[in-house]
Structure 1
């Protein structure tokens, strides 16, 4: 039987959401086909956690664990870590060096997509539209007039590398800009400031399903808050409508852009991209390569709308990783 390690946790503000995602995967992977182990990867410890919540230390030399005198190794890793080190390429590279297949994209794609600025720069030559943006690194002089002249008001200030909308602010007035920049620097030393795109926000899941690139039914995001922030994502302050209420013509354009991004980047596994549709044209905001897998999460909702059950969704990811 195949030994599967579900890695969850991580080193970022998103670790609790990741633990939830990992547990959902644990509950839904078919235990007739797989022997499934929950592995918590946290700054202070890497441990296998059994059903009685006992912890066994992972040996980082070969990613094995000793339980009651016998050594367990893993045939494949299901990556459920949002943020670092699971979504930025560090774990992907580690597992590649150890020769252990894992379910998410390769390390270069993970590092690239985790860096919003670099991702959008790479996709632009392929005709994928984006917001107008301004970049800042910690220590750069800040000329508020110059920034607003370029991106206009309102605008969004975001950490370049962070997830779950941590550190993002919508800036409506000149006075709000500097505090928003300070706030973003708490999450990352690089910032992206983007023009406000006034349109319909959609989240688009693209996966490799049984060897084919498949665009899932997209989700329209209608946030009660100013934008799709942490509260909107996890505390029910938004409506997520799947499939999105857009015309077939627009839907086809968004699907094309999302599929193109997935294929141009040579992605594998799961991805969920955010787009804002302005006058019928999709503009890409970002791509997540380890999207949430909790019961509330968007990608599982989309899979359900496509007629794919969670055991099928997660089992497919394992099978594709094993084939690599």
Structure 2
């Protein structure tokens, strides 16, 4: 079991022990690919950890962009958190219905907004339920709470910055997609995207960082996965994936073993793969 750290990852035992803390806020950050035909809000309404609020990744986003769930404007994030009763002085714990997946995106988004007392629930709702812990279908009691936001711009990169990093090699670009997608051996799940990867990037499939039960591997084991993929951990890192969700699992894993000079490419392959003028590579890294 991973060591509890309220700024990155906590266990179900830790959450159970802190459930009655007055400044604890629990968020359901579940999200699914469109092809899965799952409605995370409906699933939340039917069953969630007591007191949890639902964090809608697709709505708490920059809806002016054609790309999915891009980082929202600061003002929108602040207003949504106020409405959810999440603010200054709160310890936030985020879970999802798969284990450690989209919750990592919400964790990173809070970090981007300058919030540090935020963690992902290791193993998520599946582990919580497998242990026979309480769930409910009641909406939480919410009181407005102000949140002070200080956006940490170094934690996110855009396509221009990633293109420069690909050419200069001053960052390690690390792709969280499965190996077949990285190598360009299969079609992308989103229509209209080319297959392959950003030139000079490395492949660390996010699944390699997880145990069979959906929990995250220990910090040293996560570090070993990056090293085995040929990642130079002395360089700052940019993580990428399909649409900026599982890239955050890589960021969370790096945070766990003490590497904090990382950023997430928000547009990820949904943006890069759609532009015919951007170069792509296929095959092994």
**With structure 2 as the length reference, what TM-score do the two structures score?**
0.31
Q: When you count strand as a share of all residues, which structure comes out higher?
A: 1
